[in-house]
Chain A
Amino acid sequence: MANPTGWKPDVQAGVAHAAQEEVGLGHATRGLAFEEGLLFERGSRGRTGVSLPPRGSDADPAREIPVALLRPEVEGLPEVGELEVVRHFTRLSTWNWGIDTGFYPLGSCTMKYNPRSSEALARLPGFAELHPLAPPSMAQGALELMYRLERALSEISGFATTTLAPAAGAQGELCGLMVIRAYHVARGNPRKKVLIPDTAHGTNPASSALNGYQVVPVKSGEDGRLHPEAVRAAMDEDVAAIMITNPNTLGIFESHIAEIADVVHAKGGLVYGDGANMNALLGVARPGDMGFDVMQFNLHKTFATPHGGGGPGSGPVAVKEQLAPFLPLPLVVREGDRYRLVTDPAERPRSIGKLREFWGNFGMFVRAWALIRELGPEGLRRAAELAVLNANYARALLKDAYDLPYATDSLHEVVFSDKNLKPTGVTTMDVAKRLIDHGFHPPTVYFPLVVHGALMIEPTETESKETIERFCAAMRDIAEEAAVRPEAVKAAPVKPVRARLDETRAARKPVLRWTPGMKVE
C-alpha cells in the first residue's frame, strides 16, 4: 500500500510549503550541526597522534641540542590522538561555505564553479608530481602547456604576449605597473601619476602607490560610465597610465574606452586594464582591440580555477608588443618542436626581473588550459553571454524591490543601493546577514564605494535559472520582511552554527592569541 491515508502534499500551501519555509529559500537546513571547541582544549597529558619507530641506538637526539636552547616544558600545546585531529578539522570543514555548498554571488569576485574535469586533469601525476627543478628536457609537456596557455590568453584578450608568472590578481597589477614604469624609464622619464576612476578596485591605487605613483581619482558620470572629458581634464604628460576595469565595478561597459585610450595615448600615457571582470567579455570583445596596453587576468575568476581559500590564484599579465621586452621572467619559448624556459636576464636585459620563486602557480595553468580547451571559442563566448544573461535576470527579478542607482545596462553583475531600505532602518549589512538564514552566501556589500549601501550581485554563468530565482525570492522576502518586521532582519542570522558575530568588537579588540586557561566572553 503506497499511500494508505490518501494524503497528498500540497506544493502551493500547507505542509510542503511550511517545510520549505523552515529550510529557507536556498534550501538551508537545520540538521545536526557539531559544536567544536579549540584543538588546544582537547586531549590529555601525554596523549600523542604519532608513533615513532624505536630508536636504533642509545643516542638521545635531545642531547644533540645545546642546553640553552631547550625548554624544560612547553605549556599549552595540544596533546591529542590522530582521530581527534581528523574529527576536529572535518567538523570545522562542515561549517565552511563554498561554491560546492551553495550559491555564492560575490560581485566582482566571479565565484564560478570549478569543473571536476579541470580538477582531474590537474591531478594527473605528470603535472601534479612534476618537480619544479626537473630539467626542461623532462618537463616538455608542462612547458608546452604553459606555452599554449600563454598563446591562448594572448589571443582571447587581443595582446601580443602574456607572462604567466604573477601569483594572483594583485601581483598581476603590481607586475603591470612595474612594466609600465620600466617602459617610461626606458624612454627617459618614469612620470609621476596614475589616473584611477572612482569605481576602481581598491587594489588599483595600492598597486600604483607601490610603484611610486601618485594616484589621481577621476569621477565617473551620472550614467556610471567614465567620460573622455573627465579623463582629458586630468591628463597631462606626468601621467604614466590610467587604470580601467571594463566592464567597471558597477557592471557597466565603458563604452567610451576607445576615445579615452586615444586621449591617454596622445599624451604618451598607457592604458592599464584590470581584468577582474573579463568574464563578461570572453569571446565577445578583446581589451587589446579597445586600446588597452596592459591587462592582468585572474585565472581564479575568469577561468574557473579555485578561489578564495581554495586557491592559490594566478594573475597572468598580457601586453602589447612595445611592452613585451619588460615582462618578468621566466617565459616559455618554442624552438622547433621543443620548449624552453627563459630564465637568464642576460637574454632579456630589459625585463623587470623575477616576481616570485619558480615558474608561477602551475596547477592553475593546467585547470585554466583544460577549461579553455573544453569550452573552445564558441563555449567561452557562450559562458560570457550566460553570465551576462544571469546577472540581467537577477536585475529584472529584483529591480522593483531594491533601488537600482544606475539605469544603464548591466553586463555580468548588477549593483543595488540601500535607498528603499532607508525608511525601515534595515541596512545592507542586515540584508546580507538575513540571506545566510535562507542558505545563500551574501553578495558583495558596500562596494563599489560610489553606491550608497551597495549590494553587488554576480551570479556567473554556472548557476541555474532555478537557483537565481530562489536567491531573488529570498532577496524579495527580506525586503518585505524589512518593511513589516525589521527587528527580525536586524537579528539575523539565527540559523548558522554561529549567529551574528560582533564584527566591530572583532576589529577594535581582536583576540589573536590563545593562552592556557583563558576565558573569552
Chain B
Amino acid sequence: MNLPDDLKYTKEHEWCRMKGKRATVGITDHAQSSLGDIVYVELPEVGDVVKKGESFGVVESTKAVSELFAPVSGKVVEVNDPLADAPETINEDPYEEGWMIQVEVSDEKELAGLLDAASYGKFVEEEQA
C-alpha cells in the first residue's frame, strides 16, 4: 500500500496535502485500487465551499458510485478539470496527477483530527481483517 508520509488521511480514504493555508485533496491508493477502474468523477466548482466530513463530489467506477468527503472545510480555489476527460489518472497516479481539488482551509484546527500515514495504514488493515 503506497502511503506518502507527508500527507494526512481520513477514514473515508481521502488524503490532503498542506502548503501554507492551501490543502490539495484526493483519494488514496487503497481507495482507487478497491474501487477499480474509475470511469467518472464529479467535482465542485471553484468558489464553492466544502465542509469537513461532508460530500464534495462523486467518483464512479465500473463497480460502484462513491461519495467523496472533504477532509477539511474551506473554499475551493482550484479544481483538477482534466480528470473529467481522463478519470483513469486517479487510478494511475492518485497522489500527484490524480489530485481532485485545492481548498483554502478556513480552520486549521481541523487538521488535528486527520490521520497520519501510519495510523491510516493501520486503520485500513483493521478494516480488511
Contact = CB atoms under 8 A, between A and B. Distances in A.
A468 B128 CA distance: 30
A513 B37 CA distance: 24
Interface in B51-78: 60, 62-66
A446 B37 contact: no
Q: Which of B37, B66, B88 has the most CB of A within 10 A?
A: B37
A149 to B, nearest CB: 35
Interface string A486-503: 000000000000000001
Contacts of A452: 34, 128
Interface string A442-454: 0001110100100
B120 interface: no
A507 B63 contact: no
Contacts of A503: 37, 62
A507 to B, nearest CB: 4
Contacts of B37: 503-504, 507-508
B64 A449 contact: yes
Interface string B18-42: 0000000000000000101101100
Contacts, number: 26
A449 B34 CA distance: 12
A504 B38 CA distance: 8
A508 B39 contact: yes
A202 interface: yes
A429 B39 contact: no
B-side interface size class: 10 to 19
A447 B64 contact: yes
Nearest to A503: B62
A449 B65 CA distance: 10
Nearest to B65: A202
B94 interface: no
Q: Which of A202, A445, A446, A508 has the most CB of B within 10 A?
A: A508
Contact of B62 (A447, A449, A504): A504
Contacts of B60: 507
Contacts of B65: 202
A203 to B, nearest CB: 12
Nearest to A510: B39
B87 A508 contact: yes
A508 B64 contact: no
A202 B39 CA distance: 19
Q: Which of B39, B60, B87 has the most CB of A within 10 A?
A: B39
Given A508-B87, A508-B88, A446 B63 contact: yes
A-side interface size class: 10 to 19
Nearest to B40: A507
B39 A504 contact: yes
Interface string A440-483: 00000111010010000000000000000000000000000000
A349 B40 CA distance: 44
Nearest to B87: A508
A43 to B, nearest CB: 35
Contacts of A202: 65
B35 to A, nearest CB: 10
Interface in A177-210: 202
Contacts of B87: 508
Contacts of B40: 507
Nearest to A422: B128
B62 A507 contact: yes
Contacts of A507: 37, 39-40, 60, 62
Contacts of A429: 36, 62-63
A446 B39 contact: no
A452 B88 CA distance: 22
A504 B34 CA distance: 15
A202 B37 CA distance: 20
Interface string A368-380: 0000000000000
A157 B17 CA distance: 53
A510 to B, nearest CB: 10
A118 to B, nearest CB: 35
Interface in B71-114: 87-88
A407 to B, nearest CB: 16
Q: Which of A452, A503, A504 has the most CB of B within 10 A?
A: A504
B119 to A, nearest CB: 20
A429 B36 CA distance: 11
Contacts of A504: 37, 39, 62
Nearest to A419: B128
B30 to A, nearest CB: 12
Interface string A408-425: 000000000000000000
A504 B66 CA distance: 16
Nearest to B35: A446
A447 B61 CA distance: 13
Nearest to B54: A214
A446 B64 contact: yes
A507 B60 CA distance: 10
Q: Which of A445, A446, A447, A452 has the most CB of B within 10 A?
A: A446
Query: What 3 pairs across the A-B complex have the smallest Cβ distances?
Result: A507-B39, A504-B37, A446-B63
Interface of B: 34, 36-37, 39-40, 60, 62-66, 87-88, 128
Given A449-B66, A503-B37, 6 more contacts: A429-B36, A504-B39, A507-B60, A508-B37, A508-B39, A508-B87
24 contacts: A202-B65, A429-B62, A445-B63, A446-B63, A446-B64, A447-B64, A449-B64, A449-B66, A452-B34, A452-B128, A503-B37, A503-B62, A504-B37, A504-B39, A504-B62, A507-B37, A507-B39, A507-B40, A507-B60, A507-B62, A508-B37, A508-B39, A508-B87, A508-B88
